[in-house]
Amino acid sequence: MEILDNLDKNNLHHAYLIEGTEEEIVPEIFKFMEILGIETSANPDFYHISVDSFKIEDARNLKSVEHEKSFSTGKKIFLISANNFLLEAQNTLLKIFEEPIENTHFFIIIPNTDTLLKTLVSRFYLIKTKTKLGDELKEAEKFMALPLKNRIDFIKELLVEPEKDAGIVLLDSTRSKALKFLNALETISQSKFLKNSSGLTLPGVPGGTHNYT
């Protein structure tokens, strides 16, 4: 699903919730900003927030900034990317989206919308994208071919938190990588199931094999 196909410059929704990865979606949003004639750099009315976990402090800051007067007569845009939103932050966001402010628009990106409160999701125009799983599919194939002991070692390695410098946020965190891997694993499993069941015949079904003893 193309992001731009779901965005209407003549009828812009107050808040969009987009399921997918930051690296795939953010460039599409930037393209849309160009279509709208909105600068994404050196523009005090364009906010790009990228964090691993969106916390209550982030939500409170967002609420405060949202109510500040715009520096121009145009739109105020908030582009937020996070791997997860903590419960307290979600409750604060609910209050923000209950009373939309004119010419203020939100684009929120998260890998899995199922981790959000249903009441919060209902406030958004929801867009679900198909995540590209190139390397993840290869890893899933490798995992499926491993014996049990090696699978356990594989999972342990997957769950190791990468080292990072202070002040640097890794959007491709352990949670994000694990989610991508599980999506790839599900894709591989479904593919194998469909392949194995395509020629399956059952007793009592025309063409089936009947064995009687």
Question: What CA–CA distance (Å, rounded) separates 203 from 130?
Answer: 38
**Radius of gyration, CA atoms only, the chain:** 22
C-alpha–C-alpha distance, residues 48 and 62, integer Å: 11
Instruction: State which of 128, 154, 186 marks the end of a domain.
Output: 128
35 in the same domain as 107: yes
Whether 107 and 85 map to the same domain: the answer is yes
| Domain boundaries, position 112 | 4-128
Asked if 80 and 115 count as a contact pair (C-beta separation under 8 A), the reply is: no
- Whether the CB-CB separation of 115 and 87 falls below 8 Å is answered with no
pTM exceeding 0.75? no
Is 211 within the bounds of a domain? no
pLDDT digits (tens), the chain, 213 positions: 478 888 988 889 999 999 988 888 999 999 999 999 999 998 999 999 999 999 999 999 999 998 887 787 689 999 999 999 999 999 999 988 888 888 899 999 998 898 899 999 999 999 987 655 566 667 777 777 878 778 777 777 777 765 554 443 444 556 666 766 766 666 667 666 655 655 544 444 444 433 433
Cα 181 to Cα 176: distance, rounded to the nearest angstrom: 9
